[in-house]
Amino acid sequence: MKRYSAFAIAREAIRDHMGWERAWGNPEPRPKYDVIIVGAGGHGLATAYYLGKNFGITNVAVLEKGWLGGGNTGRNTTIIRSNYLQDASAAIYEKARSLYETLSQDLNYNVMFSPRGVMMLAQTEHEVRGYKRTAHANALQGVTTEYITPSRVKELCPIICLDGPRYPVLGALWQARGGTARHDAVAWGYARACSAMGMHIIQKCEVTGVETTDGAVTAVNTNRGTIGCSKLGMVVAGHSGQLADMAGFRLPIESVALQALVSEPIKPCMDVVVMANTVHGYMSQSDKGEMVIGGGADGFNNYTQRGSFHHIEETVRALVETFPMISRLKMLRQWGGIVDMTGDRSPILSKTPVDGVYINCGWGTGGFKSIPGSGWAMAELMANGSSPLADEFSLDRFREGRFIDESVAAGVAH
């Protein structure tokens, strides 16, 4: 596969751009693969990529029932941060954040990583104490964050109103090397790199069953036939429970919709990401000028991938107090994604009761930021049987009571 470069752009401009290759192939399934990954979103593709890059395992198929990156990877608000309280969480998210910094160079594909900084507003005295505690924990974990004053918040984000009628800004937890990336480009870059290694990315291939012999996986049934495998990775976000049922085990998760929206584009006015957990809203400005806005997950289980008026009302009403200027903006579009939640709001990266089957799920509302670290850990788990980044997130923790409770620690699991 040809490398992308400034020279290549100039060459193809002369050729009327008729010489570009397909970014990834469109193969027919083989009868059998060493590894099958179900789910061609960011996490599934990253798993396949690091299997090939780190362990030389390239006889891999990534199966996707829809189109590549059409699930949660293409339906999020692209926030990247690693300032979590729990050690296990900070480790895997910091691995992801550090990989994001060089991902464009590693993949030879511009993922538009923007280390613009992420601030989490403290709008109650409880949050002030909590974020100062997190800053101290991050210092011990080697994650660079700091607690900043309201004046520093205003300096970094001039459009913010510090003296809200209900929730004034008392400070913030600031991670200068957090930021955003282009969600589609992350999936496309991984897919292109996987295809270049000879892996098969098979779209419109829905898994309908899992075959086992003597407690070990042997194949998956799909709408395009039965495909054999020695190892199976389940990386399907909100549909993890359904796929686990096919393999004969249950997961401690529930699926809910998470909604987001963008405004009409306006001139640049905000070059940081702001999260306001007390009122539960977060906002950044895209390269096209849209204000990207998100809030909390729905309060009831569902598989909806569309927006609702309730979400607009609750989220925008909260953010208008902190950013009065957005009250004058029109909404451009709204959407939803299906997220799977565990009881402790931390992910599951684990072996399963079926030999050769591995599960990666439960990222809840924070999946995009973890994609490179998740893929790295999942690949190591599938190749070696264990991973320092993944071991704490095993299924056993629910049976043993070893919860990694970020929802209680941080007040939010984004």
Residue 60 pLDDT greater than 70, yes or no: yes
The values of phi and psi at residue 209, to 5°, are: -170, 160
Q: How many residues does the chain have?
A: 414
Rg of the chain taking only CA atoms, in angstroms? 21
Q: Cβ-count burial of 150 within 10 angstroms (0-12 exposed, 13-18 middle, 19+ buried)?
A: middle
Residue 409 pLDDT greater than 60, yes or no: no
Q: What is the CATH number of domain 118-179+255-341?
A: 3.30.9.10
Q: Cβ-count burial of 214 within 10 angstroms (0-12 exposed, 13-18 middle, 19+ buried)?
A: exposed
Residue 185 pLDDT greater than 80, yes or no: yes
Interval 239-272: pLDDT, tens:
999 999 999 999 999 999 989 999 999 999 999 9
Interval 308-321: pLDDT, tens:
888 888 888 888 98
Interval 375-398: pLDDT, tens:
999 999 999 999 999 999 999 999
Q: At 408, is the pLDDT very low, low, confident or very high (cuts 50, 70, 90)?
A: low
Annotate 2-44 with DSSP letters as a single string: PPP-HHHHHHHHHTTT--PPPSS--PPPPSEEEEEEE--SHHH
Residue 413 pLDDT greater than 50, yes or no: no
> Treating both helix axes as pointing N-terminal to C-terminal, what angle do 371-384 and 87-101 enclose, rounded to 10 degrees?
110
Outline where 197-308 has alpha helix (H).
Answer: 240-247
pTM: 0.95
Residue 167 pLDDT greater than 90, yes or no: no
Interval 121-162: pLDDT, tens:
999 999 999 999 999 999 999 999 999 999 999 999 999 999
| Contact in structure between 111 and 150 (CB atoms under 8 Å) | no
Task: List the chain domain ranges.
Answer: 24-82+85-108+183-254+344-410, 118-179+255-341
Q: At 373, is the pLDDT very low, low, confident or very high (cuts 50, 70, 90)?
A: very high
Q: What is the CATH number of domain 24-82+85-108+183-254+344-410?
A: 3.50.50.60
> Which CA distances in Å does 267 have to 114, 183, 258, 275, 314?
18, 22, 27, 21, 25
Q: Cβ-count burial of 287 within 10 angstroms (0-12 exposed, 13-18 middle, 19+ buried)?
A: exposed
Q: Closest by alpha carbon to 303, among 336, 342, 267, 345?
A: 336
- The single-letter DSSP state of residue 369 is G
| Contact in structure between 120 and 82 (CB atoms under 8 Å) | no
